[in-house]
Amino acid sequence: MKKTIVVLLLFGFAICAFKEIRGIYFRYPSYWPKPIYNFNKNQLTTEKTFLGRVLFYDPILSKDSNISCASCHSQHTAFSQINHSYSKGINHQIGKRNAPALINLAWNSSFMWDGAVNNLEMQALAPMSNPTEMNETIGHVADKMKHTTIYPKLFYKAFGDSAINGERVLKCITQFMLSLVSCHSKYDSVMEKQAKFTQQEERGYLLFKKNCSSCHKEPLFTNDKFENDGLPINKTLNDVGRMLITHDSANYLQFRVPTLRNIQISYPYMHDGRFSNLVQVLNHYTKGIVRSNSLAKPLLKPILLTNNDKKNLIAFLSTLSDTTFITEKQYSFPVFVN
């Protein structure tokens, strides 16, 4: 597996990869807020972003060289993992949470369902060192890379010398993650007055603004906060969310509000992937809310939706799908670059 990938990568580079990357830049619609990430500490360049992309797809990052970041975050599902409720890592070990979609991360102030990480560079380190995910150390990964023919060259292109170390690896993976901007949905075209919602989508949009947008705030569809949205605790996992980090009972069952961009393609849903479709999600909001002291205020009042309302709401949510994002070559496995 490892050998094949290296050969494929070499083949890809030789043909066209470097040219293709010239197009990478960080762009977002003018009506969006400014990103939170401080680009001064890690300025994006095409070479570093490209190196990050190669790393993202390379199982060299895991102990048995079988698992890459893309094993759990695959592009065609907006960089989430759809075939497992809980993510599956090294030696087929199953994790405890659903792998979230990786979208518009430059606007997040914290990461993971419970906000365990507040720095994107450190985020890449977490799965690498997690014994059930990639079970590797960054130092050992850097050593493995030194013994390849390709990586010294790539680091030379990106940094002006071929030194390979953990910090550089993390910076480049971060650059690739920052480049994952999803802003070409129908919703965006409508906001930019280049398209119109259908009547059904428009009705769904009104329902969304009434019931959902206080947490799933436009235009990123998250308020970047932790909330308890009334899900009953998963008794097998006993995952109390944000409280695991803060040890404060006010944070009991609070999870990071996920973006709803590309939501139709990034099932299953919730931190434990308990719902497989959007109807189940809406049924939760209308009749599944469990009250506890930490339940978010907007959910204290019941959400009432008829079956027709649900259809309209789902029609609106499907306008958040971005086919450019999930097919964009700049994000894909480097061998398919031309």
Binding site for ligand HEC (CB under 6 A): 61, 67, 69, 71-73, 87-89, 95, 97, 99-100, 102, 105, 108, 111-113, 123-124, 127-128, 133-134, 173, 177, 211-212, 214-216, 227, 229, 231, 255, 257-258, 260, 263, 266, 269-271, 278, 281, 285, 296, 298-299, 303, 313
State the nearest-atom distance from the C-beta of 274 to ligand HEC, in Å: 8
Q: How far apart are alpha carbons 208 and 44 in whole angstroms?
A: 35
Cα dihedral 172/177/128/63 (nearest 10)? -70
State the nearest-atom distance from the C-beta of 330 to ligand HEC, in Å: 16
According to DSSP, the β-strands at 255-256 and 226-227 are antiparallel
State the nearest-atom distance from the C-beta of 72 to ligand HEC, in Å: 3
Element (H, E) at 49: helix 46-57
Cβ distance to ligand HEC smaller for residue 201 or 227: 227
Q: How far apart are alpha carbons 134 and 119 in whole angstroms?
A: 19
State the nearest-atom distance from the C-beta of 160 to ligand HEC, in Å: 24
Cβ distance to ligand HEC smaller for residue 47 or 229: 229
Cis peptide before 268 (omega within 30 of 0): yes
State the nearest-atom distance from the C-beta of 35 to ligand HEC, in Å: 14
State the nearest-atom distance from the C-beta of 329 to ligand HEC, in Å: 19
Q: How far is CA 109 from the centre of its chain?
A: 13
3-state secondary structure of 302: coil
Q: How far apart are alpha carbons 86 and 91 in whole angstroms?
A: 14
Cβ distance to ligand HEC smaller for residue 5 or 112: 112
8 CB-contact burial (10 Å; exposed 0-12 / middle 13-18 / buried 19+) = middle
**What single DSSP character describes residue 254?**
B
Cβ distance to ligand HEC smaller for residue 109 or 338: 109
Q: How far apart are alpha carbons 302 and 216 in whole angstroms?
A: 17
Joined tokens for residue 315: 């029609």
Q: In 3D, which of 55, 105, 54 has the Cα closest to residue 79? A: 105
Cβ distance to ligand HEC smaller for residue 48 or 88: 88
For residue 218, the one-letter residue type is E
State the nearest-atom distance from the C-beta of 15 to ligand HEC, in Å: 25
State the nearest-atom distance from the C-beta of 14 to ligand HEC, in Å: 25
Cβ distance to ligand HEC smaller for residue 17 or 101: 101
Cα dihedral 272/265/59/63 (nearest 10)? 0
Cβ distance to ligand HEC smaller for residue 38 or 194: 38
Q: How far apart are alpha carbons 71 and 87 in whole angstroms?
A: 9
Give the residue carrying structure tokens 């030379």. Answer: 156
State the nearest-atom distance from the C-beta of 255 to ligand HEC, in Å: 4
Q: How far apart are alpha carbons 170 and 19 in whole angstroms?
A: 23
Give the residue carrying structure tokens 């695991």. Answer: 244
Cβ distance to ligand HEC smaller for residue 30 or 293: 293
Cβ distance to ligand HEC smaller for residue 142 or 231: 231
